[in-house]
Amino acid sequence: MQFTIICHDCDLLLNVPDLPMGLVAECPRCGAFLRRTQFNSINRTLGWVGTGLILYVVAVSFPFLSMTAKGMSKTTALTGGIVALFQQGMPAMGGVVLITCLLAPLLSMLSLLYVLAPLRLRYRLPWAAHAFAWYLRLRSWSMMEVYMLGILISMVKLTKLARIVPGPSLYSFIALIFVLAASSVSLDSHLVWSKLAKARRVHQDLFNFFCRNNASGSAPLS
């Protein structure tokens, strides 16, 4: 099967055939990268997404940091910095951090799960194509590594004033950054679009199932 691809650099319209595993397709005019096939892409991506959801729950549920100074101790959560921004009269900044560091990663993982889990069984849920398109848009809005960098800088500055004890949430948050990167690398978006075009729609199968049951259950009139 061939894919019709537009080069993102020079806008050349190309027909790219199915590639053997590991090969890379490049634009013949400008040499830009077009596509690379991934081994077992859907299963690997689902594994990373499942791991990411578990890490996300741990990151938002458990303590993030504990600070001890002059005999006083305080424990903060991952959402503590966002809440502090709203309380200090910076709702715009708090909203940006909330969207880019918490909502965008969560919606990206849920979108992939919604699309890939049925697709593995050769089915397509309603609005699956829209959900995958939104995932591709949301992926660039996930900026957890920027938030993590700011936290690390704050931790370095606070070590002179207090004793910092990392919590389970911090380790989960760091692991989640790498898991999301791995899921993005393992995903073959062209393969997903191809399988979405071939997959059977769930609501159509359910409609046919109920129609067959009604037809078989109805008795002929005498």
Residue 60 or residue 199, greater confidence: 60
Spell out the residues 6+ positions from residue 50 whose beta carbon is closer than 8 angstroms to its own: 113
Residues 88 and 187 in one domain: yes
Residues 57 and 139 in one domain: yes
> Mean per-residue pLDDT for 109-130?
90
Residues 176 and 67 in one domain: yes
Residues 183 and 153 in one domain: yes
Please give the residue range of the domain that contains residue 7. 1-37
Query: pLDDT tens for residues 39-90?
Result: 788 899 999 999 999 999 999 999 888 888 777 777 888 888 888 888 888 8
Residues 20 and 112 in one domain: no
- 3-state SS, 33-45, equals EEEECCCCHHHHH
Tell whether 102 is covered by a domain.
yes
pLDDT of residue 218 exceeding 70, the answer is: no
Residues 185 and 126 in one domain: yes
Tell whether 74 is covered by a domain.
yes
Tell whether 21 is covered by a domain.
yes
Query: pLDDT tens for residues 60-70?
Result: 999 888 888 77
Tell whether 218 is covered by a domain.
no
Structure confidence at residue 79 (pLDDT): 83
Q: Is 111 exposed, middle or buried (0-12, 13-18, 19+ CB in 10 A)?
A: buried
**Total of domains in the chain:** 2
Residues 67 and 17 in one domain: no
CATH label of the domain that carries residue 68? 1.20.140
Residues 15 and 113 in one domain: no
Spell out the residues 6+ positions from residue 221 whose beta carbon is closer than 8 angstroms to its own: none
Residues 152 and 163 in one domain: yes
Q: In the structure, what pLDDT confidence band is assigned to residue 178 with cuts at 50, 70 and 90?
A: very high
Residue 69 or residue 123, greater confidence: 123
Q: Which of 10-24, 97-111, 183-197 has the highest mean pLDDT?
A: 97-111
